[in-house]
Amino acid sequence: MPGRDEVDPSACNEVRLRGRLAAEPVEKVLPSGDTVASFRLVVDRVPRPGSSARVDTLDCAAFRSDLRRRLVRCVPGEVIEVEGALRRRFFRAGGAAASRYEVEVASVTRAARGAARRRATMAG
């Protein structure tokens, strides 16, 4: 078992999602001075017997400037792919401690353009 400052080599926290951008990303400066682009991704669910849920809406955050620039060029409803890790973020809201989970984005791809490019490459 690894020590406190060591990473378990078998540990894995990887997220890959493809869905529709719910609304324009919102950029804000955090109290730490970091800038983040927050957005929601709407991902279709595979139908399950007895469940009426059709989609999952997931909170995502992009801290890197290149990712923030890429995201602000995307339009609501556009299909994008994100890769990253699931993170639990702690913050204060109304004087009380709170937390939430979000995907910390490491890469963003416009899925529709990538699919069209793959089809063109395969045809040529």
Question: Domain for residue 58, yes or no?
Answer: yes
Q: pLDDT tens digits for 37-67?
A: 999 999 999 888 888 889 999 999 999 999 9
Question: Domain for residue 60, yes or no?
Answer: yes
pTM of the predicted model as reported, rounded to 2 decimal places? 0.79
Question: Domain for residue 36, yes or no?
Answer: yes
Domain harbouring 109, CATH code: 2.40.50.140
d(CA 45, CA 52) in angstroms, rounded, equals 10
Question: Domain for residue 42, yes or no?
Answer: yes
Identify the domain containing residue 42 by its residue range.
15-123
Q: How many domains does the chain have?
A: 1
φ, ψ at 19 (rounded to 5°): -165, -170
Question: Domain for residue 93, yes or no?
Answer: yes
